Amino acid sequence: MNRFDYIQPASVAEAIAAVSEPGSVYLGAGTNLLDLMKIGVSRPQRVVDITRLPGLDRIDWLPDGGVRIGALVRNSDLAYDERFAKTFPVVAEALLSGASAQLRNAATVGGNLMQRTRCAYFQDLGSACNRRVPGSGCDALGGQSRLHAVLGWSEHCIATHPSDFCVPLVALDAMVEVEGPRGTREIALDSLHALPGSTPEQETTLAAGELIVALRLPAEVASFADNARYLKLRERTSYAFAVVSAAAALEMEGDTIRAARIALGGVAAKPWRAREAEASLAGAKPTAEAFAGAAELALAEARPSGANAFKIELARRIVARALNFALAGTPQEMPALPASPFSTNPGAYHVA
């Protein structure tokens, strides 16, 4: 690591002022940032530690039934919060499918939203990477691209966003509360992460110095709680990032789908909301044909970025299976292997 100044502010306002210095970064749990600093990808001149800022580690239930989650709430604390897990079970399942228990005990909600790609070329200082060094090129194009993007990529970057947590959050209309030099604002999580275009180094829509202080889920999406699942296919059963993943949630009215929510992970530089697929299911019967049609729509714009054409068909199948799992019903207790297609047969669940 390079030498850096370490600042521990006492308030959000002090943190924002401290990070205004060039070369400054915010530090939460550091489960991603410290790794990048150790390998030289991130070389900040000033680290602003926000972990002791008051009021950012609370889960607050709002009068209308929605929830506000402070940016410093630990992933495991949120996933195991009984009321949260019952109200937004698909989010809890996604959280428990990510990383290891030790990392979940340290990692924070805000940090999870801001984690950077795990693309091997981004992490290798000997490789060209437009995210790391704008204008240097993208060695992933024409390289080992098996796990790279099939939606929303450009000739400048084909990396994917690694978060599990963000996938159901996007499906459920999560909002991000931000404070910065110009005051407070809200951003739809679906708009927080940027597609690469010609400027892949601009990974989010946050302005300089802005700090995520909370995440909010609206009360109305609790109507999906009875039929919501997160499904993640990875190269090993646990402790691995998704090759592809899908969050699926259904609001049923008798034997008809009143509304659906679908989002994908592992396929783009941001969690991918499949709105046309959702619309195709509204008012439909929950048949295999309807789910297959929704899966086709979800991947309608997909194209290989290299040796990864298989991911398109794989993602279609994961969407259809996630919808089937959601139709079978949210488990009363978390599956033994959260989000794994190999945990149980649909409709039969294990105790965690």
Residue 2 neighbours by CB distance under 10 Å: 10
Coil, strand or helix at 9: coil
Most distant CA pair in the chain, distance: 62
Q: What share of the chain is helix, strand, coil (3-state, %, to 5)?
A: 30, 20, 50
- In tens, the pLDDT along 115-127 reads 999 999 999 999 9
Taking residue 173's Cβ as centre, other Cβ atoms within 10 Å add up to 16
- Centre a 10 Å sphere on the Cβ of residue 287 and count the other Cβ atoms it contains: 11
Eight-class DSSP state of 207: P
Per-residue tokens: 179 = 């404070």
Hey, what CATH topology would domain 225-328 get?
Enolase-like; domain 1 (3.30.390)
111 C-beta neighbours (distance < 10 Å), count: 24
| Ramachandran angles phi, psi of 207, nearest 5° | -85, 165
As given in the structure block, the two tokens for residue 335 are 């599956």
Weakest mean pLDDT among 14-23, 25-34, 198-207, 328-337: 328-337
Residue located via tokens 């609370």? 58
pLDDT in tens, 11-25: 999 999 999 999 999
Give mean pLDDT, residues 138-156. 97
Report residue 156: phi and psi, to 5°. Answer: -95, -20
Q: What is the pLDDT of residues 298-329, one digit of tens each?
A: 999 999 999 999 999 999 999 999 999 999 99
Residue type present at position 340: S
* Residue 327 burial (CB count, 10 A): 18
pTM of the model: 0.96
Share of the chain above pLDDT 90, in %: 93
Q: How far is residue 89's CA from residue 163's CA, in Å, rounded to a whole number?
A: 17
Mean pLDDT, rounded, for 253-280: 98
Q: Work out the number of other CB atoms within 10 angstroms of the CB of residue 62.
A: 12
What's the start-to-end Cα distance of the chain, in Å?
40
User: Checking DSSP bridges between strand 46-49 and strand 5-7, what pairing results, if any?
Assistant: parallel
In CATH, what number does 5-52 get? 3.30.43.10
Cα separation, 352 vs 343, whole angstroms: 11
Query: Mind giving me the DSSP string for 134-190?
Result: TTS-BTTTTSS-TTS-SSS-BTTB------STHHHHHHTT-EEEEEETTEEEEEEHH
Measured on CA atoms in the order 137, 142, 145, 150, is the torsion positive or negative? positive
Site of tokens 């002090």: 14
**In the prediction, which pLDDT does 348 show?**
43
Minimal CA–CA distance to 6: which of 17, 351, 19, 16?
A: 19
Please determine, for residue 345, whether its predicted confidence score (pLDDT) is greater than 60. Answer: no
Can you list the alpha helix ranges (DSSP code H) found in the chain?
12-19, 33-38, 75-79, 82-87, 89-96, 101-106, 109-114, 120-123, 166-171, 189-192, 275-281, 288-298, 310-328
CATH 3.30.390.50 spans which residues of the chain? Answer: 225-328
Q: Where in the chain is the domain with CATH 3.30.43.10?
A: 5-52
- Each residue's pLDDT tens digit, 43-81: 999 999 999 999 999 999 999 999 999 999 999 999 999
